[in-house]
A and B are shown apart, each in its own frame.
Chain A
Amino acid sequence: MLLLPSAVIVFGVIFYPVLRTLIISFFEVNSAVPITTPFVGVRNYSDIFGNADFWSSIGRTLYFTIGSTVLELVLGMGLALLLNAPIKLRWLFRAIVVLPWALPTVVNGAMWKGVFNAQYGSLNALLTQLHLIHAYKLWLGTPHSAMNSLIIADVWKTTPLVAFFLLAGLQGIPSEIYESVRVDGAGSVRAFFSITLPLLIPSISIVLILRTIDAFKVFDLVYVLTGGGPADGTQTIAYFTYVQAFSDQRFGYGSALATVIVACILVLSAIYLRLLRRDEMSLL
């Protein structure tokens, strides 16, 4: 009974659309107010899997996911250790670290678009004044460098979140364990690799799964920073779907794409929930 209001709101707005997405994906719908919507069976799906653009957008999504997640995990680990360390003005440091996480994603994208700008961007200004480059560069000019810029912008914003996740895990490690290791004469580097890292594996795997799910959804940053360009070089899967469905008005095809994404995300979510349950979650 108490759940009813939540159920109405969530499922009313989610279940029906999900079903509808699934249904539309078997039709050819080329307008918001279509005149005819011929049933095409699985043709939308066979079109997807036969489309080279789809596979390259999957490739880009993977590149983005692996690049950003690896960097965020490594840097986030360091940041979590720093957040846990006895530093001066700790509250100020924490407030600074929270900043990128709190910044709206779109603002983050707009900010980095300015930083990478070819005419007035601060990255160009900084690097020329340090004599590291001779002339201003088009950072967003080639597909490859635009993709890397995208990863940098994402790493700047998301590393604090990863660090907070890992910090939560770090704080759960009892300090007696470290004491016993010290008694055994291990240095702090050894202690990190033999104690901290293994004990953080649950937190790390949760971060990995969540970041992968997010990468399938990444849209805002791409939209603002590169607009999917240049030469579609930064079109990740969510952006590709958006272009197909809304720019090209191919709603049937777009729905089939969305269904493929949902299938991937459901698999990842299942892994995530399994991990959470192992993580002494009494609710699950």
Chain B
Amino acid sequence: MTATTENVPTPAAPAETPRRAPKRRSVKGGSTRYHVFVNVMALIVSLIILAPFAWMVIASVESPADLIRVPYHWIPAHLDFSRYRDIIEGKGTDVARAFRSSVLNSIIVAAGTVIVAITVGIFGAYAFAMLKFRFRRATLVIFLVTYMLPPIALLIPLYLIMSSLGLLDSKLGLVIIYSSYVTPFVLWILSNYFLTIPRELEEAARVDGCSRMGALFRVMLPVARPGLFATIMFAFLLSWDEFLYALIFTSTPNAETIPVAIANFAGRYSTDFGLVAAGGLIASVPPVLLAIAFQRFIVDGLSAGAVKG
């Protein structure tokens, strides 16, 4: 039976085409002119988006002399990868060394934050989505509002507290602060994901003798896995991107994260833009790869009420 169906794909194909074609035509007019127009527009938009980024890539592999030449040559005569080598090997200038340590700091801080926020967030989100309790809505609103609070409002007392606890310029201090800032966000997104899971699934697990925790770990989490991955990505991006807290609470390569390092060099060493560009590109690799890998979750995540700015 299967062999015959595979051998005759032709009847299936025409059935497919008319079903799709009118839908498209009905939405947008469907003419070839329209198709040419959207494709050309998409190309122009892509070029506008890519232009500054592409120039940053060029600048990062161009010798400092070529970079400041007037008139400027867009394609460098020879490629100079020394900045990347310096940063990765952590040698050469202080700048390259500081970049290297800041990348490591960022990884540690972001990973720590994601672990804390996701762990506590899973339990909290489960409670919001599956349990009925008094003040549920009010509690959720309070969590959301804390996420909206501007860091600048908490900065002054946090600075005074951190300095009295000796947590200034430490990665642990940053993880604590970031967790408080990422957790409400995780709670919000995850509880929205949990909500999309049919209640019956959880109830069936409970009937089969699972405890609440058993139902959460054996049934809910596996089903919510795509959402969980997307949430991990958002949480990672949030802590990787954070700047103001890191700027105030760190002061040496001991805890400085990558945004702080880049901001410092963009200000202080504006003579070699190439080095800032190389550092910036290295800092962009993890978030950009994550975002591209998870891009189809972004629309879902945003419609679930994601609030990343």
Contacts and interface: CB of A to CB of B under 8 A. Distances in A.
Contacts of B126: 2
Contacts of B303: 168-169, 172
B154 A14 contact: yes
Given A6-B121, A9-B180, A164-B299, A110 B49 contact: no
Contacts of A171: 299
A82 B156 CA distance: 44
A110 B280 contact: yes
A96 B35 CA distance: 20
B50 interface: yes
A24 B156 contact: yes
Given A6-B183, A120-B72, A219-B244, A262 B292 contact: no
Interface stretch (A39-47, A48-56, A143-151, A238-246): A238-246
Contacts of A103: 53, 284, 287-288
A216 B276 CA distance: 28
A277 B29 CA distance: 35
A284 B141 CA distance: 8
A111 B149 contact: no
A259 B157 CA distance: 12
Interface in B45-73: 45-46, 49-50, 52-53, 55-56, 59, 67-68, 70-72
Interface string A65-98: 0000000000000110010011110000111111
Interface in A105-146: 105-107, 109-115, 117, 119-120, 122, 125, 128-129, 136
Interface string B193-214: 0010000000000000000000
Nearest to A169: B303
A230 interface: no
A13 B176 contact: yes
A265 interface: yes
A208 interface: no
Contacts of A94: 295
B267 interface: yes
B284 A102 contact: yes
Contacts of A122: 52, 55, 59, 72
Given A10-B184, A168-B303, A227-B267, A21 B284 contact: no
- Judged by DSSP, the binding face of A is helix
A1 B244 CA distance: 33
B262 interface: yes
Nearest to A269: B148
B9 interface: no
A14 B277 contact: no
A232 to B, nearest CB: 17
Nearest to A113: B266
B276 to A, nearest CB: 5
Given A6-B120, A276-B305, A241 B183 contact: no
Interface in A173-221: 175, 178-179, 182, 187-188, 210-211, 213-214, 216-217, 219-220
Contacts of A231: none
Interface string A18-54: 1011001000000011000000000000000000000
Contact of A114 (B160, B163, B276, B287): B276
Interface string B130-156: 010000010111011110111111111
Instruction: Select the residue from B29, B117, B191, B303 with max chain A CB neighbours within 10 A.
Output: B303
Interface residues of B, number: 110
B72 A125 contact: yes
B42 interface: yes
Nearest to A225: B266
Given A102-B291, A224-B266, A20 B157 contact: yes
A129 B72 CA distance: 9
B104 interface: no
A255 B176 CA distance: 22
B24 interface: yes
A61 B24 CA distance: 43
Nearest to A23: B157
A19 B139 CA distance: 18
B141 to A, nearest CB: 6
A175 B70 contact: no
A3 B129 CA distance: 12
B283 interface: yes
B33 to A, nearest CB: 11
B111 interface: no
Contacts of B143: 6, 10
B211 to A, nearest CB: 12
A165 interface: yes
Interface string B92-136: 000000000000000000000000110111011011110100000
A58 interface: no
B166 interface: no
A17 interface: yes
Nearest to B260: A106
Contact of A283 (B35, B45, B163, B191): B191
A12 B70 CA distance: 55
A265 B305 CA distance: 18
Given A14-B180, A96-B50, A136-B70, A2 B127 contact: yes
B8 interface: no
Given A103-B288, A220-B244, A254-B156, 5 more contacts: A20-B156, A85-B42, A93-B46, A102-B284, A268-B148
